[in-house]
Amino acid sequence: MSKELHDKIAIVTGGTSGIGRDTAVLFAKAGAKVVVAGRREAEGKETVELIRSVGADGLFVKADVSRAADVEALVQKTVEKFGRLDIAFNNAGIEEAFVPITDESEENWDRVIDINLKGTWLCLRSEIRQMLKQTGGGAIVNMSSVAGLMGAAGSAAYAASKHGVIGLTKSTALETAKNGIRINAVCPAVIETPMGARLFSDPGIQKFILGLHPIGRFGKPMEIAEAVLWMCSDRASFMTGNSLVLDGGFLAGPNLPV
């Protein structure tokens, strides 16, 4: 792999498993020094060991992205360790159980919005503040979803949070474009991650959801990681304020028999 992120400093939130872990390791292979953030310390340190195993430098910072103090400390520790911040993948997020809005609790709504939407906002705010202090701009990718581009019956809080991430992405991209900071979002359909396994553990539901992916399978974390790497590299230097859909045909329409 070419070292297209040579000497870049990157933060990956939610880097303890799945898409976040694969992206952190891919960034490292591309030459970046990577700070992994998450709430699960053991898994976060495992990701750092994987980063070091490919010859790169890494750091784990325990952080809850819904807490402003944690996010500010994350960026501060990144700069203390590596001197600057060039790249961020705001990937941390949670799912919710499928329930109609009439049965959804205020506690569940707050939990999903706090992590998925407020957490992305807090990360953007701290990351952009740091990038504006530096020369050279930066690149940020936010984790949205196909649920950020369509309705999701039984998942109002999740869909609202992911729609909000796209609005944040567009608005902050407009604010920072002239400063050389590019901000985009990635919108996957179902990916083979622990989160996906929790949501679709029932074989009947899994079969139904799989049928919504015309390509005939769920995505793999590395397929999303490769796209995020591209968006954070100079190869995507003309891209900002956009959402990249990786969905196996999910949004193209119903997968009807022909």
Q: Residue 190 corresponds to which tokens in the numbers above?
A: 């179902």
Output the pLDDT for position 258.
72
> Which entry of 17, 66, 126, 144 is annotated as an active-site residue?
144
Catalytic member of 8, 33, 118, 162:
162
Is 162 an annotated catalytic residue? yes
Of 118, 126, 155, 158, catalytic: 158
Give the pLDDT confidence of 123-138 residue by residue, as tens digits. Answer: 999 999 999 999 999 9
Beta bridge partners of 181: 138
Q: Is the pLDDT of residue 202 over 70?
A: yes
Model pLDDT, residue 43: 97
Residue 198 has pLDDT above 80, yes or no: no
Map residue 13 onto helix, strand or coil. Answer: strand
Q: Report pLDDT for 255.
A: 77
Condensed to tens digits (0 to 9), the pLDDT of residues 59-82 reads 999 999 999 999 999 999 999 999
pLDDT of amino acid 188: 98
In the numeric block, the tokens 């019956």 are attached to: 153
User: What is the set of domains in the chain, with CATH numbers?
Assistant: 9-243 (3.40.50.720)
Catalytic residue flag (residue 118): no
Q: Which value, to the nearest 10 degrees, does the dihedral of the CA atoms of residues 192, 193, 198, 201 take? A: 20
User: Given a cut of 80, is residue 196 above it in pLDDT?
Assistant: no
Whether 158 sits among the annotated catalytic residues: the reply is yes
* 219 pLDDT higher than 80: yes
Pick from 93, 97, 102, 104: which is nearest to 193 by CA?
93
Nearest-Å Rg of the Cα atoms of the chain is 18
